[in-house]
Chains A and B, each alone.
Chain A
Amino acid sequence: MASPAHKATSVRPAAPVALLVLAGIGATFFVVPLLGLVLRTPWGATWDQLRSPEVLTALRLSLLASVSATAIALALGVPLAWTLARLTFPGRAVLRAVTVLPMVLPPVVGGVALLLAFGRSGLFGGWLATAFGVHLPFTTAGAILAETFVAMPFLVITVEAGLRSMDTRFEDAARTLGASRWTVLWRVTLPLIRPSLVAGAVLCWARALGEFGATITFAGNFPGRTQTMPLAVYLALETNPDAAIVLSLVLLAVSLAVLIGLRDRWLGSS
């Protein structure tokens, strides 16, 4: 702060007072709820709550579902991102819009749409049931499907942006060295966009972990089967507020960790 440059900035024309007041209220608006959560946490009982069967069950299921959703999103989302970034074909804009839609769609609507497609009497649901004996609604697989539906767009747009900004001449260089398209993808393209892959996967996972609307609509709320953490929080608020708070705290910690992990990408250096 002793440098002349800093002094110069500190004597810049003062910001309008009204603006600062409003900004302060805005900041408070974010801080107060978090403060409420942290202050109301029964710290003494936290450990016991964390080890209670209902919390553990929800934790385990949430981890399983969110990691599976991320894995599926990687397997399907990376090829989709590559297609959107590298190929020109009619309808590409439409395809991208459809891919990104779940990001802005109310999750409940996503859940309803999934029910209508994969439900017992849905578009594919009946066929899945008769042909393969697969029932998605109200199962863990259904919860994973719902989370994937809502979370995959985050991975797709992050990876697509990475693919667009990479220098494709590296791929040319690999091809002149005899690498097939597949080798180029695995040994050059994906390693070069690794930061985008990691960021996309983390964002996707965080979104999947917090998914509520589509999951409860499509998969229901069965403890141990489809009751993920957000669902458990919502329910526990009525019956066992302390458990709700502890679960919320876990989710908050995860969010903070994601934010810190991606700080270079999101918070900027300035």
Chain B
Amino acid sequence: MRRGIGSFELDVDLRVEPGEVVAVLGPNGAGKTSILRGLAGLLPLDAGRVALDGVVLEEPAAGRFVPSERRPIGMVFQDYLLFPHLTVLENVAFGLRSRGTPKPAALATARQWLERVGLAGEAQRKPRSLSGGQAQRVALARALATNPALLLLDEPMAALDASTRVELRRDLRRHLESFRGVRLLVTHDPVEAMAMADRLVILEHGRVLQSGTPAEVTQRPRSRYVADLVGVNLFRGRANNNVITITDGGSLMATGASDGEVFAVVHPRTVALYRSRPDGTPRNVWEGRAVDLDFEGDRVRVQVAGPPAIVAEVTPAAISELGLDRGDRVWIGVKATEISVYPA
């Protein structure tokens, strides 16, 4: 799908298999919500195609556009958007009523959904009086009550208290598992994405940077954004005969690298620091300046300016042993076997 929004252009190719939960993960302003609005028909596309179970919902080139109200979708909005003038029960029945189900039947189905999400006792309350977690479940029940083929969730946990988030995430995951259709959620929270999704799609500046299982994405990050999320050093360069020439300057020696454009990942824990040039083992040795020391519990993350620039993670004891301070020169050692290389 493609859509320009002001100076921003969204251009993504996204496929979700039945039975799969896909999370679109990206920083704020990456275009995550726009994807959902595009799929929901709330944001008409400039070009591209939206198809669901083989039915084309939108294709500007073919002049096809199915309006929101006739797409078989359910959407959970970021702050839930429960209708404040209706009761919880009426909120859940809204979709069925709108699609022509007679009132008694719609209310009966809505009641069943409230039971499923454990809120049967709150049916007559107004949304205003619900807690964040309850509102989330009402929003989910409202979206699922029409039996949609596609469920869209926009930052479903963002409006919740940090203290209740873990438990509510487990609940949501359980509810999502019981739903048969296609499930797509967007979030800027990597923990949430990894906890809920079978597959991650990394989005930045309106483009898909990477897609894969949480394990694949975290082990083989293909963007600075993901590398920072996971907390590893990511280098991009050109490999030739086990020597990687890094695009941003410097080079690394790695074993088993196939020639060509590659990504190289170095875990900060495998980076050794020395006060003077080390002898022997590490194949990669270079000198840099420690630009920042970040104490995190029993670990210290040391940012060293390169080239190549790298982050090392050592113990506070090692720091005092080295007598290392911000601005000091320091030697870096990385074993060739600790560098994981994969094609770009």
Contacts and interface: CB of A to CB of B under 8 A. Distances in A.
Interface residues of B, number: 25
A188 B84 CA distance: 9
B42 interface: yes
Contacts of A181: 69
Contacts of B99: 178
A174 B98 CA distance: 9
Interface string B76-100: 0100010111000000001100110
Interface class of chain B by DSSP: mixed
Interface stretch (A9-17, A165-173, A230-238): A165-173
B85 A194 contact: yes
B81 A175 contact: no
Interface in A160-187: 167, 169-170, 172-181, 183, 187
Interface string B52-90: 000000000000000111110111010001011100000
Contacts, number: 64
B170 to A, nearest CB: 26
Contact of B69 (A167, A175, A187, A191): A175
B295 to A, nearest CB: 43
Interface of A: 167, 169-170, 172-181, 183, 187-188, 191-192, 194
Contacts of B199: none
Given A172-B42, A173-B75, A183-B98, A178 B83 contact: no
B42 A179 contact: no
Nearest to A183: B98
A173 B84 CA distance: 12
Contacts of B95: 177-179
Contact of B67 (A170, A175, A183): A175
B314 interface: no
The 3 closest A-B pairs by CB, nearest first: A177-B95, A179-B98, A175-B68
Contact of A170 (B37, B75, B81, B142): B81
Contacts of A188: 83
A187 B67 CA distance: 19
Contacts of B136: none
A170 B94 contact: no
A219 B189 CA distance: 68
